Structure 1
Amino acid sequence: MGRRRLIRMPFGLIGIGIVCLMVTTGLIWMGVVDDPFGGEPTAVIPLDATIQGVTSRDIEVVEIRPSLGDDLGPNLRPEGGESRLGPRYEFLAEPADPSSEGGLSLVPDPRVSERSEYGFLPKVSSDGIRPLDAYARPFETEFTSIPKIAVIVTGLGLSRAGTQDALDRLPVDVTFALGPYGSNLDQWMQDARAKGHELLLQLPMEPYDFPDNDPGPHTLLVSLQPNELLDRLAWILTRTTNYVGVINDMGARFTTTETSVAFLFEKLKERGLMFVDKDESARSIAGRVAAANQLPFSPVDVILDVVPREDDIEAKLLQLEGIARARGVAVASASALPVTIRQLQRWSRDLEERGLQLVPVSATIDRPSEQ
């Protein structure tokens, strides 16, 4: 070829042809050869069962310990262990009818109650017996290494149908929390304890967006003077009797204000009650203040029905089980919605077969500080 003809060759088309040939060869290689990445390590995991509605965001990565026997806290260990804040079952109030189904007292124990202008207030007896000791659901186990789960159903007494549904369907180790603005609370208290349920009382506390989001006319506010806060607290604590403690209703702002929390916890300790923290604010200091004041305390790890759909509740229950297996103890709260009650009933049927145990919330007070 002459020099002129060589310069006019289609180099662009030749280059495109070479690239197409390389891409075609690579595709054929990946389609024919089983390991197109040349020996990169792989693993195959068979999935024998799936849970609808569970996604990767719903699963908490937790540490699975081979033995939990030494990490369950004094209240979950055999007698004779360390000093504990949990209930002392030797001081349980005697039921009026020892043959009753639930075996729990239905009337105020005179040792741990006193009259006030609003009604019966809980108190610590002259012998140091607390309402927590008198009204706890007895909990005994020979297998301290079994992971424990406490479930609290809140809002009972506000809806007759919802409250009756919870009483009819849920196992006795589920703890019930009565709303202070409910009707016939004393009757619901007696019905629940007659079946054996341990009780809490909901304590309305100030959220960040108060008063747009208002828990009720007797809400504990950070702006209240001590005598005003005590008056509202007394009104709430006299709505019913025979409960072991209180659980906050809202309260994201209140539980981040140290002076208010410290004052409240001092008064709850004087009354011999426990405090359960739903931790609606990530900045809650309730746990730290409770530890400093030696107040019986238990935090909620999972709120089950933030999204009240079956798939979402199943995912939260799966997360709850993972926490219990990793830490030894886990606590959940849920509202008395029909979908939640159905899911809890179904979930609790074979709980022991899955190596887990349902317990009243008072049995979780002395868990180790892992959070």
Structure 2
Amino acid sequence: MSKNSDPKEPIEEKGPIESLVDSPLRLLVFCAALLIFSLAGGMLIGSIVKENRSSSARNSVPVMSVEKGTPETVDDAPLESEETIRPLSKPVDALSHDNPYTVPRDESLPGVAENLEKETVIAALPPSGAQQIEEGPAWQRYAARSGVSDHTKPTIAIVIDDVGLNRKRIKELVALDEVITLSFLPYAPNLQESVQLTRSQGHEAMLHLPMEPTRASANPGPNALLNKLSAQEIRDRVILNLDSFEGYVGVNNHMGSKFTAYEPGMQIVMDELAKRDLLFLDSKTTSASTGYRLALEKNVPAAIRDVFIDNVINVPDILKQLKKVEKLAAKNGHAIAIGHPHAETISALKIWMPQAVNAGYNFSTVSHILSFKNKIATKTE
């Protein structure tokens, strides 16, 4: 036996790498396995990262539950959007309104009616379209036809605010058979065109004036009235907003649970409304609002919202709120309800309005209710 075949002689052992190098087939199999493992691992890690990002994005969008019985949370709570979130450089309306993630902050800006003891009458209107009165206070001059033939029936005024950016919803609202009021955000585009469309279809327009909410994270939008501003800055912003379009009867507050409780600021608002002969509807986003009281002191025709109809955004709950509106109208002779241009709100109105008419209710406007109240007051004196 040769020396090399001696079983007692130790055999040289090769490491795994050396074995792979010596065998091309083994090397090929190893490389293939390594590639498959890398791809699988990469896909797993990518999936985990994507899920974490999605979760983080969902959690970053502010959401506030609406607390029942707390009026100031209603107009200050974010509403669900059915459109793609707009860039921060653009304002939003009711479909994604009051959401600080989408509304730009802009803090760059450094007797109205006839006396309540006098009778005020809205003149007869054409069969359709906006009222055509050349003289008189603006809140009557731009009023829509009342739609009321029998004043013995209870009257309901439906106000849809936060309107402006979604043209589709404006068209759906003005197509409703009964008269309503649309309250437009002053920073929306093409306002004059939207207001003309609204009035041409026999409905009424108002201006939805942005004011500071109590909740600091909620953004009322550009040129909002803020408590920290000087008196001159507040006045400048009021004038700027009031000049944003024409053809509206008055103003109601957008948010404002903080500002409407700020009497010095609201005094300025009422002074400017009085100069322009406009009415004021207090959205009543807080029980501490000074708006209605100050309006009466300044002889500004004023009313207070009775019911928010879409605190909960689904058709059954909105219909329940509308039943509350009926009860209040039956009790007091009239009721003013505020809603927003959600698809669910519009659907509920389409269902409910014909039923309310058949049940003996009138549909009219805030301006008509104020005029009719004045007529009653005059007759009873």
Read off the aligned partner of 1:278 and give its amino acid letter. S
Read off the aligned partner of 1:202 and give its amino acid letter. H
Kindly report which structure 2 residues correspond to 1:1-371, keeping only aligned pairs within 5 A, or say none. 83-84=118-119, 88-90=121-123, 101-104=128-131, 129-139=136-146, 141-168=148-175, 170-210=176-216, 212-365=217-370, 367=373
Matched residues in 2 for 1:300 and 1:152: separation? 9
CA contact (8 A) 1:104 1:194 kept: no
Matched residues in 2 for 1:337 and 1:244: separation? 23
Name the SS of the counterpart of 1:144 in structure 2.
Answer: coil
Read off the aligned partner of 1:206 and give its amino acid letter. E
Provide the aligned C-alpha RMSD in A.
2.7
Matched residues in 1 for 2:302 and 2:192: separation? 25
Name the SS of the counterpart of 1:139 in structure 2.
Answer: coil
**Unpaired runs of 5+ in structure 2?**
1-67, 70-112, 375-381
Matched residues in 2 for 1:186 and 1:293: separation? 28
Deviation sequence 1:223-259 (CA, Å, 0-9, x none): 2222211211122112211000011000011111222
CA contact (8 A) 2:284 2:305 kept: yes
Tell me the CA shift for residue 103 of structure 1: 4.5
Name the SS of the counterpart of 1:365 in structure 2.
Answer: helix
Tell me the CA shift for residue 82 of structure 1: 5.6
Matched residues in 1 for 2:363 and 2:196: separation? 22
Matched residues in 2 for 1:250 and 1:164: separation? 24
Deviation sequence 1:276-322 (CA, Å, 0-9, x none): 11101022122222222221101110011011111110110011101
Tell me the CA shift for residue 90 of structure 1: 4.3
Tell me the CA shift for residue 159 of structure 1: 0.9
Name the SS of the counterpart of 2:270 in structure 1.
Answer: helix
Structure 1 equivalent of residue 103 of structure 2: none
Read off the aligned partner of 1:161 and give its amino acid letter. K
Name the SS of the counterpart of 1:89 in structure 2.
Answer: coil
Name the SS of the counterpart of 1:272 in structure 2.
Answer: coil
Read off the aligned partner of 1:362 and give its amino acid letter. S
Matched residues in 1 for 2:117 and 2:267: separation? 26
- Residues 155-164 or 236-245, more deviating: 155-164
Structure 1 equivalent of residue 54 of structure 2: none
Higher RCO (Cα < 8 Å, 6 or more apart) = 1
Matched residues in 2 for 1:147 and 1:89: separation? 18
Matched residues in 2 for 1:171 and 1:236: separation? 30
Tell me the CA shift for residue 104 of structure 1: 4.0
Name the SS of the counterpart of 2:203 in structure 1.
Answer: coil
Tell me the CA shift for residue 140 of structure 1: 6.7
Matched residues in 2 for 1:167 and 1:139: separation? 15
Structure 2 equivalent of residue 18 of structure 1: none
CA contact (8 A) 2:179 2:203 kept: yes
Read off the aligned partner of 1:222 and give its amino acid letter. N
CA contact (8 A) 2:144 2:199 kept: no
CA contact (8 A) 1:246 1:274 kept: yes
Matched residues in 1 for 2:146 and 2:233: separation? 37
- Higher helix fraction (1 or 2): 2
**Unpaired runs of 5+ in structure 1?**
1-56, 59-74, 76-80, 93-97, 112-126
Structure 1 pair 140–307 and aligned structure 2 pair: CA distance change class (3 A): closer
Read off the aligned partner of 1:89 and give its amino acid letter. I
Matched residues in 1 for 2:129 and 2:365: separation? 13
Tell me the CA shift for residue 188 of structure 1: 0.8
Name the SS of the counterpart of 2:355 in structure 1.
Answer: coil
CA contact (8 A) 2:164 2:189 kept: yes
Matched residues in 1 for 2:196 and 2:249: separation? 14
Name the SS of the counterpart of 2:139 in structure 1.
Answer: helix
Structure 1 pair 140–332 and aligned structure 2 pair: CA distance change class (3 A): closer
Name the SS of the counterpart of 1:298 in structure 2.
Answer: strand
Larger Rg: 2
Structure 1 pair 103–213 and aligned structure 2 pair: CA distance change class (3 A): closer
Count the aligned residue pairs.
262
Matched residues in 2 for 1:344 and 1:237: separation? 29
